């Protein structure tokens, strides 16, 4: 019997309103513009005021449907255009069993024009995730079983972000998470109200020596400033510091990593092994943080395996999404030998569970992998009210 082929590729922009923007309430001088975006003064980065996502639906010739998701949190139409106009038509008729070959073929399409990163690779990532989902469903296997083997059915989760508006609120939040069974917590320098060192000091004193504390420095510092800061943080025994200096400054990252007394983590902004390789060679970090929404499963696995060859750990990044690329990230992470924990964006993940059908949960310190064939997750009926017309403002 012939194996099913890829027949149709569709994209959807999802925009779900939220009361408090990601990273907490608006600060002085921050506002939402007419396209629905805000700029965080702390890291000069633009964010949507809603929870944004781009979904990819692939229908196989026998009617089997697979779902993918990628980044489209800003200018999502750029991603959907690439898929609708370029990638979708190219993969029509392809065999989903050739998923990694397809990923490589799509990557090759635009190299001659200088596109081997950014939105182009995000678009490929979403398509890649959807093909893996179709393949798993056609083979009646969870995706993790197709990635070389399953090591875990639960993954330790670390709390990402304490979006309270005062230090007391943040401490109370952290203590509540610890009471639920979480043992690792990261705060964000970009919204660190009382200062980065002060926040770690207060958290360490409130939570005790056993809890793993991390800080995301959001590329705020020069290499020398980051080293100086790390020396001040050292007294509070951080588990890692993240993204100390700007991603373009590979030598600076390597300098920080060599100079400080704790692991450096980075990589959420990188998409392929080709972007990771020079940083691995220079030992710019000891923990890599691939983001499934940027990498897709095929690249994520290659990055994770290459990290293992460099004796680096993988602690995947998890950002704003409906949950589909989060599920893909759990499948991939559970197949790797060097993944001790996974980021948990509690302010997004739990709320968005109402928009997906899945057994995936994060409870008492652990993510549970979704059950079922493929990724084990699909959009629920309730999400379709939030489809944003292509080209419309994000509000
Ligand atoms: Mg980060």
* Ligand 1 centroid distance, CA of 347 (Å): 15
Strand order in the sheet with 65-70: 6-16, 51-60, 65-70
- Token pair listed for 69: 């998701």
pLDDT in tens, 123-146: 999 999 999 999 999 999 999 999
CA of 269 to the centre of ligand 1 (A): 9
What are the φ and ψ backbone dihedral angles of 91, each rounded to 5 degrees? -90, 0
Quick one: which of 208, 146, 133, 223 has its CA closest to 171?
208
Query: Distance from the CA of 263 to the center of ligand 1, in angstroms?
Result: 15
| 224-253 confidence digits (pLDDT tens) | 999 999 999 999 999 999 999 999 999 999
Nearest to 254 by CA among 280, 289, 220: 280
Q: Using CA atoms, how far apart are residues 296 and 325, in angstroms rounded to an integer?
A: 8
**d(CA 140, ligand 1 centre) in Å:** 35
Q: For residue 62, which of 8, 102, 103, 106 has the smallest C-alpha distance?
A: 8
pLDDT at 1: 62
Q: Which domains does the chain have, with CATH numbers?
A: 6-141+381-386 (3.30.390.10), 146-374 (3.20.20.120)
As a whole number, mean pLDDT of residues 366-385 equals: 97
Give the distance (Å) from ligand 1 centre to CA of residue 365.
20
User: Please, which pLDDT band fits residue 81 given cuts at 50, 70 and 90?
Assistant: very high
pTM: 0.96
Provide the token pair at 232.
């001040």
pLDDT tens per residue across span 283-312: 999 999 999 999 999 999 999 999 999 999
Could you report the per-residue pLDDT of 83-119, keeping only the tens digit for each? 999 999 999 999 999 999 999 999 999 999 999 999 9
């Amino acid at each position: 019997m012939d194996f099913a082929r890829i027949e149709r590729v569709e994209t959807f922009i999802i925009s779900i309103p939220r009361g408090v923007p990601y990273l907490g309430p608006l600060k002085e001088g921050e506002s939402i513009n007419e396209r629905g975006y805000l700029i965080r003064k702390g890291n000069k980065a633009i964010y949507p005021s809603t929870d944004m996502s781009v979904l990819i639906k692939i229908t196989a010739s026998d009617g089997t449907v697979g779902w993918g998701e990628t980044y489209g949190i800003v200018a999502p139409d750029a991603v959907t255009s690439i898929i609708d106009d370029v990638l979708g038509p190219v993969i029509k008729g392809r065999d989903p069993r050739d998923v990694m070959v397809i990923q490589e073929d799509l990557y090759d399409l635009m190299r001659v024009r200088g596109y081997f990163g950014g939105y182009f690779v995000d678009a490929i990532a979403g398509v890649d995730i959807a093909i893996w989902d179709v393949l798993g469903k056609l083979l009646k296997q969870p995706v993790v079983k197709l990635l070389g083997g399953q090591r875990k059915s639960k993954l330790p989760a670390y709390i990402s972000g304490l979006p309270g508006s005062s230090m007391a609120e943040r401490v109370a939040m952290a203590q509540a998470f610890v009471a639920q069974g979480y043992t690792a917590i990261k705060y964000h320098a970009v919204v660190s109200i009382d200062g980065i060192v002060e926040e770690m000091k207060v958290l360490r004193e409130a939570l005790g020596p056993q809890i793993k504390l991390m800080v995301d420095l959001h590329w705020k510092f020069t290499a020398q400033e980051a080293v100086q800061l790390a020396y001040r943080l050292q007294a509070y025994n951080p588990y890692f510091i993240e993204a100390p200096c700007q991603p373009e400054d590979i030598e600076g990252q390597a300098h920080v990593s060599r100079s400080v007394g704790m692991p450096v983590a980075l990589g959420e902004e990188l998409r392929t092994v080709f972007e990771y390789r020079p940083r691995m060679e220079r030992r710019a970090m000891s923990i890599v943080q691939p983001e499934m929404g940027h990498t897709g499963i095929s690249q994520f696995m290659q990055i994770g395996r290459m990290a293992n060859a460099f004796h680096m750990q993988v602690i995947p990044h998890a950002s704003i999404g409906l949950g589909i690329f989060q599920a893909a990230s759990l499948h991939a992470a559970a197949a790797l030998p060097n993944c001790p924990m996974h980021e948990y964006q509690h302010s997004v993940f739990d709320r968005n569970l109402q928009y997906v059908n899945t057994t995936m949960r994060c409870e008492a310190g652990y993510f549970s992998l979704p059950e079922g064939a493929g990724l084990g997750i699909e959009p629920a009926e309730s999400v379709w009210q939030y489809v944003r017309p292509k080209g419309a403002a994000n509000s």
